[in-house]
Amino acid sequence: MSKPLVAVVGRPNVGKSTFFNRVVGRRVAIVEDTPGVTRDRIYAEAEWMGIHFALIDTGGIEPASAEVIPAQMREQAQIAMDTADVILFMTDGKAGLTADDREVANMLRKTGKPVVLAVNKIDTAALPDDFYDFYELGIGEPLPLSSANMLGIGDILDALVGEFPKDADTEEDDSIKIAVIGKPNVGKSSFVNAITGENRVIVSNIAGTTRDSIDTPVEIDGVKYTLIDTAGIRRKSKVNENIEKYSVIRAVAAIERCDVCLLMIDAVEGITEQDKKIAGVAHEAGKGIVVVVNKWDLIEKDSHTMNQFQKTIDAEMTFMSYAPSIFISVEEKQRVKNVIELARAVSENRAMRVPTGQLNSLISDAVLMKQPPSDKGKRLKIYYAAQVGVKPPLFSFKINSRPLMHFSYARYLENKIREAYGFEGTSIKFVFREKG
Ligand code: GDP
Ligand code: GDP
């Protein structure tokens, strides 16, 4: 069985994302100079007292607008009920009990899933009189919480952990996580079945699981993987409208927790807008990416066909030219295993570290070969470079002036690093610091 999943549900502004960020720890800042790349996360892995679990903030899925709140809350509650093992229902102790709270409680009560009721914004030890109103919801004892002041968080986490399924896997997991992403009918399930049919499945997944994706742990040539298949649930979900939106939400949640994303494309249909959107999410999140073109058996081929298709991919997804492509047919069992080998290589590239000495001599050589840009007589100087992070690889450069570091020169340096070290399948990020 996979990691327990806790969904946080509640009205806008009750403090869900504050709680989420407190539990998950410091928000992972995506270090990049482009504004607007730091996104709120809707899915994160967390740990409490050595117990590993996953947290999904259903409120972060969509920005709220006043008129749609009741509908939106029903939707959130629905997602939570479909996907979670335990639901954290968050209310606002300052605002008191509201009609919307009652409505959500009614829905949650019917699921049979365990619900923990938190009353947030209780910032002092004394409980307000109307705190006791929350008992009326009929979903158990309300627990006081102040997410802002970090009060009561431990009690909430204890209560959540106490409701985890007994057979849940709460160990830290060191397998390579591969998310299989793509539009309905591209062959995601067929692919996962082909892999699991030929290899040892470590623990089979529970039939009828209602998680937002199905995790299959599998061992291939002595290496542990977890295949995250986002296809299975869609068919089981009662929610038929907004299929497209739901499949994007699920894709995003799966991407957030993977190491490598297999972006599966239908050879006949080619690359669609939705494929590009999902590729963009994986790229921004700094995940490993492999473009898998499936149903290659359906294409009439000559010796140019693969090159032509590759050109289309390059043209449509210029922002991830580092991602390798592979052309497969699950139906004819063509190159299916090579996909896993490629994903493994990409996952290793994502974790690769370049020694500082080597990096600095590479950069000095690069600077000698191509003069850095200058402006009004002042030339860019690079004093020092170091790789300061992995997954994705992050390089820090100490320079004399940030405005002098043109995009094109950064791109040149990236190409030099890639020429020497490859980093195939992973984005690499740069941060430039001025010498103080
Ligand atoms: P969400 O819409 O449910 O995700 O709510 P947010 O986490 O964005 O919080 C909404 C507002 O409530 C923000 O201004 C928070 O600073 C504030 N807030 C969150 N937790 C607490 C708390 O424990 N006490 C108080 N007083 N304010 C809080
Ligand atoms: P999912 O919705 O992405 O999980 O797609 P499925 O795995 O359910 O596959 C959708 C359909 O495509 C099924 O009818 C499969 O048999 C078919 N299919 C999958 N892979 C291939 C392939 O490589 N070639 C052909 N011709 N059909 C395929």
Q: Are 30 and 286 in contact (CB under 8 A)?
A: yes
pLDDT at 197: 76
Rounded mean pLDDT, 409-433 = 95
Closest CA to 53 of 156, 207, 180, 132: 156
What is the residue-wise DSSP string for 57-91?
EGGGGS---GGGHHHHHHHHHHHHHHH-SEEEEEE
Report the percent of the chain where pLDDT is more than 70.
81
Whether 37 shows a pLDDT value over 80: the answer reads no
Rounded mean pLDDT, 33-37 = 32
Per-residue confidence at 144, pLDDT binned at 50, 70, 90?
A: very high
Residue that wins the pLDDT comparison between 138 and 3:
138
pLDDT at 247: 61
pLDDT at 244: 54
Closest CA to 280 of 245, 252, 240: 252
Does 202 contact ligand 2 (Cβ within 6 A)? no
Q: Cβ–Cβ contacts within 10 Å for residue 15, how many?
A: 24
pLDDT at 5: 86
Does 331 contact ligand 2 (Cβ within 6 A)? yes
Class of residue 244 by CB neighbours under 10 A (exposed 0-12, middle 13-18, buried 19+): exposed
Rounded mean pLDDT, 111-140 = 93
Residues 212-250 pLDDT 10s: 456 778 889 889 998 987 754 344 344 444 455 556 666
Question: Using CA atoms, how far apart are residues 13 and 64, in angstroms rounded to an integer?
Answer: 10
Least confident of 108-117, 243-252, 312-321: 243-252
Question: Using CA atoms, how far apart are residues 286 and 423, in angstroms rounded to an integer?
Answer: 12
pLDDT at 28: 38
Residue that wins the pLDDT comparison between 96 and 55:
96
pLDDT at 52: 87
- State the distance from the centre of ligand 2 to the C-alpha of 186, rounded, in angstroms: 6
- State the distance from the centre of ligand 1 to the C-alpha of 16, rounded, in angstroms: 7
Ligand approaching nearest to the C-alpha of 243: 2
Does 93 contact ligand 1 (Cβ within 6 A)? no
Q: Is 121 annotated as a binding residue?
A: yes
Report the percent of the chain where pLDDT is more than 90.
50
Question: Using CA atoms, how far apart are residues 248 and 125, in angstroms rounded to an integer?
Answer: 42
Closest CA to 267 of 237, 288, 295: 295
Ligand 2 atom closest to Cα of residue 193: 7
Does 344 contact ligand 1 (Cβ within 6 A)? no
Ligand 2 atom closest to Cα of residue 330: 23
What is the residue-wise DSSP string for 129-157?
GGGGGGGGGSSS--EE-BTTTTBSHHHHH
- State the distance from the centre of ligand 2 to the C-alpha of 305, rounded, in angstroms: 21
- Amino acid 267 reads A
Q: Please give the mean pLDDT across all residues of the chain.
A: 83
Q: Left if phi > 0, otherwise alpha if psi is -120 to 50, otherwise beta: which for 34?
A: beta
Rounded mean pLDDT, 13-17 = 87
Q: Is 295 annotated as a binding residue?
A: yes
Residue that wins the pLDDT comparison between 285 and 338:
338
Does 329 contact ligand 2 (Cβ within 6 A)? yes
Q: Are 374 and 409 in contact (CB under 8 A)?
A: no
Question: Is pTM beyond 0.90 here?
Answer: no
Q: Are 253 and 212 in contact (CB under 8 A)?
A: yes
Least confident of 63-67, 154-158, 220-224: 63-67
Rounded mean pLDDT, 311-326 = 93
Question: Using CA atoms, how far apart are residues 93 and 145, in angstroms rounded to an integer?
Answer: 9
Per-residue confidence at 32, pLDDT binned at 50, 70, 90?
A: very low
Does 231 contact ligand 2 (Cβ within 6 A)? yes
Q: Cβ–Cβ contacts within 10 Å for residue 308, how many?
A: 11
Per-residue confidence at 110, pLDDT binned at 50, 70, 90?
A: confident
pLDDT at 260: 97
Whether 194 shows a pLDDT value over 70: the answer reads yes
Rounded mean pLDDT, 413-418 = 96
Per-residue confidence at 61, pLDDT binned at 50, 70, 90?
A: very low
- State the distance from the centre of ligand 2 to the C-alpha of 280, rounded, in angstroms: 24
Per-residue confidence at 31, pLDDT binned at 50, 70, 90?
A: very low
